[in-house]
Amino acid sequence: MRNFSSVKSFLLSIGFLLLPLSVFAALPVSDVLRTADEAPVSRGEFVRACVKVFGTTGGERAVLPYRRVPRDLEEYIKAAYAANALQTFGGELYAAQPITRGQALEVVVALRHLTAEPTTQYRDARTSNALASAVAVALAQGWMEPRSNALFGVEEILTGKEARLFLRKVLGEGGEQPNATDSIPTIEIRFTPKSSQATTSSELPKAQILETLWKIIAQDYLHADVINPEDAAYNAAEAIVESLGDPYSTFYRPAGSRAFQSRIQGEVSGIGAQVEDREGVLTIVTPLSNSPAEKAGLKPNDQIIAVDGESLLDLSYEEMVDHVRGPKGSVAKLRIRRNGTEFDVEVTRDTIKVPEIEITWQGEIAIVKLMQFGKLSETDLRPEMKHIQDQSPKGIVLDLRNNPGGLLHAATVVTSNFLPKGSGVATIRSRTGERMERTEDEPTIKPTIPLVVLVNGGSASASEIVAAALQDTKRATIVGETTFGKGTVQEVLEFSDKSSLKLTIAEWLSPLGHKIDGIGVEPDVMVSLSERDEQLTRALSILNAGRR
């Protein structure tokens, strides 16, 4: 399948009259939205994809009110702006920022000229009539599923995989549909399966077809110079895992696998800067405090365009980050672009700890915030909690808001600080049976110390395991909003080439057998998020009042 730019070149080469780019032909989703499965989709990329797949026209003479619109996006932004589809972004587009599920819904609903009676069922979809109406359209059309009974998930960032599935549903496609204009000869291959139990066999399905297909391509495909065996193999692996339809099962190429493992391990060797992909350029969001990047004078919005003389442009986000990282003590020569000026900076890489635990005090109450459940939660939290106990706190707030989870064992370690040794944490149910995950250590916090756990719609997976266990045992008061509702367990397998597979292998239930997947944990005290952080205020009030 050719993408739009290659079709343009092809048509021009054979003398066809090509219509102006402001008249867009509808194109397949996979051709126009190529963001990696787990990567966030930018606002500009999503708008461009919508305009292309819907065949939106017009806007050539539109005058955009936005200060900065990338040149390669301008015609698409104009078409969407003329259709009044960009009002969700307010007065500034910020094309490089990730788009949320709610914003994506509003854009699509406007482009498709649909409306529905606003619903007040979801607490996070009441901010505007336009958003509530868009959510109602999505529910009526079956485009998106709510995260829980109380939260739709409009503030969650839309990933590449979710965006492609969303747009296919809008187009009425069950999956990627073949282009009817393609005329490709097919080869029929007949063979007898070794087993009649094809659906349960562990052998590779259609292995002979796949092997023969690759041999034909390798031997006869005209453009031999573009054949990339490694890329083809990874594409096939990604397609197999994607066919499961499970958002939590993912195949990682080596670069992506290293990035994933680094997040879980809590340490990475690099320059110590938070970065993001802004329109294909690796951009520093902020250098970490006292990091090599900060010591070298790097600043927010600095663009890293090359490392050791090798350009980062046209690389994937994972590949760009992989070039910046390296062994501790090695020197990275970075080509930096700042305010239009380019210069070189040498940065000595070091081991960087990814922030995971933050402890503060409000008077005699300790506030323990966990950003994720990684290796640091396993190794560093219990000593910190013992130190808190030594100070005889009046109460403890365990803040798990926006904590996406992590390691199952880390969740068990966190729970062990508050429950007797041997307490049930979660029932793990797989295809081969079930078992109870239990705490393995004595608690660090006395049972007389009151505990409040803060949760919201961003609390998922391991966060929900801890909250549910402490709720079932009545050890803590849960305050905030209904959690995300991810009640499955993934296993990570690494292959010899350093690629890896994250696969859903089990479901977990609370100690009392409550199902969490798709439901979430309901707080004991419901408090909506506000600018004044009413959730934390309520938690402190409960502890100061001596309530449990």
CA atoms of 162 and 111, how far apart (whole Å): 19
Could you give the 3-state DSSP secondary structure of residue 240? helix
Q: Is 101 helix (H, G, I), strand (E, B) or coil?
A: helix
Cβ–Cβ under 8 Å, residues 57 and 76: no
Tokens of 60: 């050539």
3-state secondary structure of 399: strand
Instruction: Please tell me the distance from the alpha carbon of residue 132 to that of residue 135, in angstroms, as a whole number.
Output: 5
The answer to whether the Cα torsion of 73, 79, 81, 85 is positive or negative is: negative
Output the CA angle 442-445-450, nearest 5 degrees: 135
Sheet (strand 525-526) strand order:
357-362, 365-370, 395-399, 451-455, 477-480, 525-526
- Quick check: 6 and 35 in contact, CB under 8 A? no
| 152: nearest Cα among 175, 118, 110 | 118
| Cα 461-465-469 angle, rounded to 5 deg | 165
Helix axes 229-242, 207-220, angle to 10 degrees: 150
CB 154 within 8 A of CB 138: no
Residues 94 and 355: their CA atoms lie apart, in Å, by 27
DSSP 243: T
Structural tokens at position 196: 């009649």
Residues known to be catalytic: 461, 472, 486
Nearest to 253 by CA among 497, 34, 548: 497
The DSSP output letter for 545 is T
CA-based nearest residue to 4, from 74, 52, 75, 57: 52
